[in-house]
Amino acid sequence: MFAMKKPLWLNKRVNLSAHRKIKSLLRELNLHTICEESLCPNVSECFSHGVATFMILGDICTRACKFCAVVKGKPRKVDYGEPKRVKEAVKKLNLNYIVITSPTRDDLGDGGAEIFAQTAGGIKSIDSCRRVELLIPDFLGNKGSLKKVANCGADVITHNLETPPRLYREIKKGSEYERSLEALRIIKKIKGRVYTKSGLILGLGEEEKEIIGVFKDLRRVGCDFLTIGQYLPPSVDCHPVKKYISQSEFDYLKEEAFKIGFKEVKSAPYVRSSYLAHTFLIP
């Protein structure tokens, strides 16, 4: 089967100098960013603004989602010095909005929730005005883990549904749509003043009515923010793109999401859950 050719209007320029500067510091501190590990198309743009999404708990994932380029396999032992190094990087880069994420760690009893909490707490100890967003896995639905991250002081907690439930078995093996929804519901119930966010990537074979259905499900569990972007296969080994979505379609979906009640929505081809993350909290 031939791969669908990416339209010219989806090409994006890369700022390599900004990329190298932050990458150098990250290597010095032995840190990773999801921007690089997932081969995100926005990597140079975010780096040029001094923004990076730190990936804690290593760079190997225990699941094998077909849309993702993060390495799959047996993770290494937890590095308990990582929260301190992230704090140091935040200070050196003078970041005011920090996103923390991780690969899924089903090998850990708490899924890594304690390290998430320590990392967020360390950043907040620098200056409580710094905003922290956690982009979390589902923790296999562990309520203790969800409670730990909900109460750690983060301003925004994100968990991405990515695609409608019909495609989960094919695209997100090991994940469950209802379990992910329940994770967002539990976080909101525990800490109502924490903003919750989720994201979808389109072009995997979903239908419009399914997308709207996901919007409604997210609002039903109190999700505040939504991101909608185009799926761009990070490698030839990933799931093939089934459709390239036009900007007019993204605009339409944004309007529909606002009608359903989301507080803020970003909807465009290169939107990802951490892209322009700080702008969600700007009045």
Residue 260 CA to residue 216 CA, distance in Å, equals 7
Percent of the chain whose predicted confidence (pLDDT) is above 70: 86
Q: What is the pLDDT of residue 32?
A: 74
60-64, 102-106, 230-234, range with greatest mean pLDDT: 102-106
pLDDT digits (tens, 9 = 90+) for 209-240: 999 999 999 999 999 999 999 999 877 888 89
User: If you average pLDDT over each of 43-47, 64-68, 146-150, which comes out highest?
Assistant: 146-150
Q: What is the mean pLDDT of residues 13-25?
A: 63
pLDDT at 36: 60
104 or 7, which is more confident:
104
Integer Cα distance of 103 and 47 in angstroms:
20
C-alpha R_g of the chain: 18
What does the pLDDT look like over 130-177, one tens digit per residue? 899 999 999 999 999 999 999 999 999 999 999 999 999 999 989 999
At which residue do the structure tokens 């990537």 appear?
A: 201
Residue 25: what residue type?
L
Mean pLDDT within 185-192: 98
Mean pLDDT, the chain, rounded, equals 88
Q: How many CB atoms lie within 10 A of CB 2?
A: 5
3-class DSSP state of 189: helix
CA atoms within 13 A on the CB side of 154: 31
| Residue scoring higher pLDDT (97 or 141) | 141
**What global pTM score does this model have?**
0.89
Edge-to-edge order in the sheet of strand 97-101: 32-33, 53-55, 97-101, 131-135, 156-158, 195-202, 225-230, 264-267
For residues 132 and 154, is the Cβ–Cβ distance under 8 A? yes
**Better pLDDT: 101 or 14:** 101
Q: Which residues of 267-280 are buried (b: 16+ CB within 10 A; e: fewer)?
A: bebebbbbbbbbeb
Residues in the chain: 283
Percentage of the chain surpassing pLDDT 90?
A: 65
Point out the least confidently predicted range of 122-126, 170-174, 186-190. 170-174
Pull the structure tokens for residue 169: 């078995």
Sign of CA dihedral 216, 261, 271, 75: negative
The predicted-structure confidence for 237-259, as pLDDT tens digits, reads as follows 888 999 999 999 999 999 999 99
Total Cβ atoms within 10 A of residue 152? 22
Answer yes or no: is pLDDT of 1 > 60: no
Alpha helix segments (H runs only) across the chain: 16-28, 34-37, 43-48, 82-93, 113-126, 143-150, 168-171, 177-190, 208-220, 247-260
Query: What's the confidence (pLDDT) of residue 167?
Result: 96
Count of C-beta atoms within a 10 Å radius of residue 233: 19
At residue 203, the pLDDT reads 96
Domain boundaries, the chain: 17-281
Amino acid making up residue 159: H
Give pLDDT, residue 7: 63
Is the pLDDT at 50 greater than 80, yes or no?
no
- Predicted local distance difference test score (pLDDT) of residue 62: 92
Can you tell me the distance from the alpha carbon of 244 to that of 229, in angstroms, rounded to the nearest whole number?
Answer: 10
CATH architecture of the domain formed by 17-281: Alpha-Beta Barrel (3.20)
pLDDT at 2 over 50: no
